[in-house]
């Protein structure tokens, strides 16, 4: 099917016309890309400080697929069954884990909306404390839900949601070697350090080891067990029969914990903070229709992480190429050589705000009105609903719309 020419294409400057033509051609063939072409067109164009995490939920089998993408690296894909903790503990299998979480979240949102709409009734009955108790109870329910999602869904793999941190390359290499050795011995039930054989060994890559480091210097035994079972299953995928009954799991967990602590100690001794994010580090979440409903940015592991969402990889590619097209245009018109990557910046002195438009958030208005009034270059409306023309003008003329 031939794509139609965009109606407004020729009303745009030449550099935008070129960019739009490029997008049209890419969308027409992107479904035919092989692995190498996908890597080149979608992954290797990602700016170095960025990490992309894609989440897809199979609601019929309660399986979560997590894909981590970084330029110059092969995509890292892991399947996380939501009920894997129950399987391993021998507990009764629980079905509908995702649906239960989605239902709980919908109930929290609905009750939150109900308390907002019934606030006037509480005020009339002089029961402000009762209103706040309901709100705080809902906050606690949401906190418990997110804790459960982080604990049960992501478990020892939660570190894959993090970006790039300071690291000691030598210590990280030693950690990878130690973890590789520990899993190798457990998979083949080697109890004597001197009894190594020439059996196939699976080398644990740096992505896994960075994930372990993100668990902190004192990781929980459950998170470690989660990762260990996954690593042992990698041997099973290579037709190795792993006798789990012979694996001393508590001892292996302690050996993993010791190796992780040793990495943190060596890194700090070398002047590196393993829990300090790199400058301009940023994570982009690309979530499917089942996972996007949850406020995953509020998971504990991500609370200090710079993070944003985009609807799909194609949209991310489009934004990256737009910035590069804009940069090349600036170079052609101004004659300056571009950097490897140039961020589009937002002018914080160019903002339009709408504060308390319905007039029922007096405390919020008192908190922010004087602050907004004193911000250089900010304009806005207080206790007034914006007209359509005002919104259009603000969106076209301002960098920030609050």
What would the pLDDT profile of 71-82 be if each residue is shown by its tens digit?
999 999 999 999
Residues contacting residue 322 through CB under 8 Å, at least 6 positions apart: 19
What is residue 180's predicted lDDT score, i.e. its pLDDT? 96
User: Is residue 98 predicted with pLDDT exceeding 70?
Assistant: yes
Contact 382, 365 (CB under 8 A): yes
Q: Is 127 domain-assigned?
A: no
Residue 1 has pLDDT above 50, yes or no: no
- Contact 65/41 with Cβ under 8 angstroms? no
- Inform me whether the pLDDT recorded for 338 exceeds 60: no
Has residue 361 got a pLDDT over 50?
Answer: yes
By percentage, how much of the chain surpasses pLDDT 90? 69
Residue by residue, DSSP assigns 249-282 as: HHHHHHHHHHHHHHHHHHHHHTT--TTSBPTT-E
Q: Is 231 within the bounds of a domain? A: yes
pLDDT value of position 9: 47
- What is the rounded CA–CA span in Å between residue 111 and residue 402? 26
Establish if 245 belongs to a structural domain.
yes
Q: What is the mean pLDDT of residues 318-342?
A: 70
Q: Is residue 187 part of a domain?
A: yes
pLDDT band at residue 150 under the 50/70/90 scheme: very high
Tokens of 45: 């164009």
Question: Which stretch of 118-122, 185-189, 315-319, 338-342 has the lowest confidence by average pLDDT?
Answer: 338-342
Domain boundary among 244, 269, 294: 269
DSSP 195: -
Neighbours of 293 (CB within 10 A): 13
Asked if residue 240 belongs to a domain, the reply is yes
Rounded mean pLDDT, 296-324: 92
The residue out of 208, 242, 269 marking a domain boundary is 269
Q: Give the span between the Cα atoms of 245 and 207, in whole angstroms.
A: 28
- For residue 13 the two structure tokens come to 């400057």
* Residue 331: pLDDT band with limits 50, 70, 90: low
Residue 276 scores a pLDDT above 50: yes
Residue 2: band (very low, low, confident or very high) from pLDDT cuts 50, 70, 90: very low
Residue where one domain finishes, among candidates 269, 288, 305:
269
What's the mean per-residue pLDDT of the chain?
A: 89
C-beta separation of 355 from 364 below 8 A: yes
Alpha-carbon distance 82 to 161, whole Å? Answer: 17
Sheet holding 63-69, edge to edge: 76-81, 63-69, 50-58, 282-287, 307-309
Radius of gyration of the chain (CA): 26
pLDDT tier at 152 (50, 70, 90 boundaries)?
Answer: very high
Task: Look at residue 328 in the predicted model and tell me its pLDDT.
Answer: 74
Which three-class secondary structure string do you get for 277-327? ECCCCEEEEEECCCCCCCCHHHCHHHCCCCEEECCCHHHHHHHHHHHHHHH
Residue pair 81/71 in contact by the 8 Å Cβ criterion: no
Give the pLDDT of residue 25.
86
Q: Which of 25-34, 167-176, 178-187, 311-320 has the lowest mean pLDDT?
A: 25-34
Which pLDDT score, from 0 to 100, does residue 363 have? 86
Instruction: Specify the number of domains making up the chain.
Output: 2
Alpha-carbon distance of 193 to 66, in angstroms, equals: 35
Distance separating alpha carbons of residues 211 and 163, to the nearest angstrom: 10
Model confidence at 194: pLDDT above 70:
no
Residue 108: alpha-carbon gap to chain centroid:
23
Task: Confirm whether 182 is domain-assigned.
Answer: yes
Q: Is residue 223 part of a domain?
A: yes
Q: pLDDT tens digits, residue range 10-53? A: 567 788 888 888 888 888 888 899 999 999 999 999 999 999 99
pLDDT, residue 385, reads 93
**Domain of 386, in residue numbers:** 351-401
Q: What is the pLDDT of residue 327?
A: 76
Strands 282-287 and 50-58: parallel
322 is a domain residue: no
Residue 11 pLDDT: 66
């Amino acid at each position: 099917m031939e794509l139609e020419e965009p109606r407004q294409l020729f009303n745009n400057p030449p550099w935008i016309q070129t960019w739009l033509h490029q997008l049209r051609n890419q969308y027409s063939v992107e479904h035919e890309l092989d692995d190498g072409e996908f890597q080149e067109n979608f992954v290797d164009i990602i700016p170095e400080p960025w990490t992309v995490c894609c989440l897809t939920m199979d609601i019929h089998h309660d399986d979560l697929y997590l894909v981590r993408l970084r330029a110059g690296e092969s995509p890292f894909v892991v399947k996380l069954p939501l009920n894997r903790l129950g399987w391993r503990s021998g507990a009764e299998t629980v079905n509908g884990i995702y649906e239960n979480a989605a239902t709980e979240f919908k109930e929290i949102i609905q009750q939150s909306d109900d308390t907002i709409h019934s606030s006037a009734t509480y005020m009339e009955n002089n029961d402000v404390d009762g209103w706040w108790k309901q709100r705080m109870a809902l906050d606690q329910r949401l906190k418990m839900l997110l804790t459960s999602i982080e604990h049960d869904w992501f478990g020892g793999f939660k570190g894959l949601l993090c970006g790039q941190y300071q690291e000691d390359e030598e210590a990280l290499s030693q950690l990878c070697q130690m973890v590789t050795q520990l899993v190798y011995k457990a998979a083949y039930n080697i109890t004597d350090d001197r009894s190594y054989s020439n059996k196939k060994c699976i080398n644990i890559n740096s992505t896994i080891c960075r994930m372990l480091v993100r668990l902190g210097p004192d990781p929980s035994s459950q998170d470690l067990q989660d990762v260990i079972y996954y690593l042992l299953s990698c041997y099973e995928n290579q037709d190795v029969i792993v006798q789990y009954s012979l694996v001393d799991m508590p001892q292996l967990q302690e050996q993993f914990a010791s190796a992780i602590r040793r990495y943190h100690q060596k890194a700090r001794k070398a002047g590196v903070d393993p829990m300090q994010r790199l400058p301009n580090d940023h994570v982009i979440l690309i979530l499917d229709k089942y996972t996007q409903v949850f406020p995953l940015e509020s998971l504990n592991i991500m609370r200090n992480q710079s993070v944003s969402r985009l609807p799909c990889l194609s949209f991310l590619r489009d934004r990256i190429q737009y910035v590069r097209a804009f940069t090349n245009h600036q170079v052609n018109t101004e004659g300056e050589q571009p950097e490897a990557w140039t961020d589009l910046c937002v002018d914080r002195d160019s903002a339009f705000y709408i504060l308390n438009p319905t007039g029922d958030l007096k405390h919020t208005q008192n908190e922010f009105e004087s602050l907004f009034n004193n911000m250089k270059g900010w304009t806005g409306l207080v206790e007034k609903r914006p007209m359509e023309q005002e919104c259009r003008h603000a969106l076209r003329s301002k960098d920030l719309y609050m």
